[in-house]
Amino acid sequence: MPSPHNIAILGASGYTGAEAIRLVKGHPQLNLTALTGHSRAGQALADTYPNFAGLGLPDLQLWEDVNWNEIDGVFACLPHGASQETIAQIKDKVDTVIDLSADFRLRDPVLYEATYGRPHAFTDLLDDAIYGLTEFARKELVGASLVACPGCYPTCSLLSLLPGVEAGLFNLSSIIIDAKSGVTGAGRKVSENLIYSEVTDGAHAYAVGAHRHAPEIDQMLEIVSSQSTKVSFTPHLLPMNRGMITTCYVQLNKDVTADRVKSAYKDRYKNEPFIQILDEVPQTRHIRGSNRCAIGLFEDRSEGRMIIIAVIDNLTKGSSGQAVQNYNVTQGWDETLGLNVLPVFP
């Protein structure tokens, strides 16, 4: 093995940043060298996350104060918009940037502006960014200097759909995605609709017909199928901390059987270290804290339709775990390094 790489985590005070710290700290080839947090600069990390006390981790600092000469790789866990501005200034100072925001996921800057309500200020970097859905981007990821990690909803949805789309098994005009996430998917910001009494004992849909992850799902489906498509996508918030479940409803193309679909998925994912095809219905409690995605495929009572259910931990496979997996691939390492953590149950 080569010498460990020195890693900086930007936005370390947020949930995805904290998850990245947890995983990087347990990675045999990564040395956690710098942590940034704009509003908490100068504070010990344990003041924000007491669970990290006593581990000798660096204090939080401004990204401008990082000694970039000693950093090899960056995990950027910054808010949308802020990420592109920071990455543009540090990209040439390090070998590899893994961006966990949405700033480099959409290839079309016009679509980015329409989706996120602000223009993309660094469109010259969009061509350099590799969309890091690891299982479908390995060749492109090797040696990549800028990786755009997919959103959590797109990760769960696309892993559910892409094997069937690749094989030409589905009618793309009729895809429906019913998605549900724990509250950490909304980040750590203070918000009235996320406090305990507003979230517990209930569930609700949000951003109905207009969620910003839908164009990201469309984009990947169109790349794989070479067909224009718009999925019907509805997200929901569940009263749990972490975890995500997507239920995709698909119309099979003519003469395609459920057995053929199941066979295609098992064949496509047979060598994937983090994908499990189950005979039973997947449950979020069984993948909590891991980089796994569990998928179940079921024939619908409506003829010619199937239901595909997938679960991930939104902070791990849906965010920081996938980021570490992508970093491993960019370096030509075993992509499971630092990620063979078992799910936490109960």
Instruction: From 26, 130, 141, 8, select the one nearest 71 (Cα to Cα).
Output: 8
Whether 152 is catalytic is yes
Distance CA 291, CA 313 (A): 7
Q: For 312, which DSSP code?
A: E
Distance CA 88, CA 76 (A): 12
One-letter identity of residue 49: Y
Beta-bridge partners for 275 = 293
Query: What helix, strand, coil percent values describe the chain, rounded to 5?
Result: 35, 20, 40
Angle at 177 between CA 176 and CA 183, to 5 degrees: 155
What's the gap between Cα 187 and its chain centre?
13
Decide the pairing of beta strands 204-205 and 232-237: antiparallel
Distance CA 153, CA 72 (A): 29
User: Residues 57, 186, 125, 69: what is their CA dihedral angle, to the nearest 10 degrees?
Assistant: -10
Instruction: Say if CB 241 and CB 184 are below 8 A apart.
Output: yes
Q: Exactly one of 152, 156, 248, 293 is catalytic; which is it?
A: 152
One-letter identity of residue 17: G
**Beta-carbon neighbour count of residue 54 at 10 Å?**
8
Instruction: Say if CB 125 and CB 104 are below 8 A apart.
Output: yes
Distance CA 74, CA 165 (A): 33
User: Residues 331, 59, 15, 139: what is their CA dihedral angle, to the nearest 10 degrees?
Assistant: -10
Q: Which residues are catalytic?
A: 152
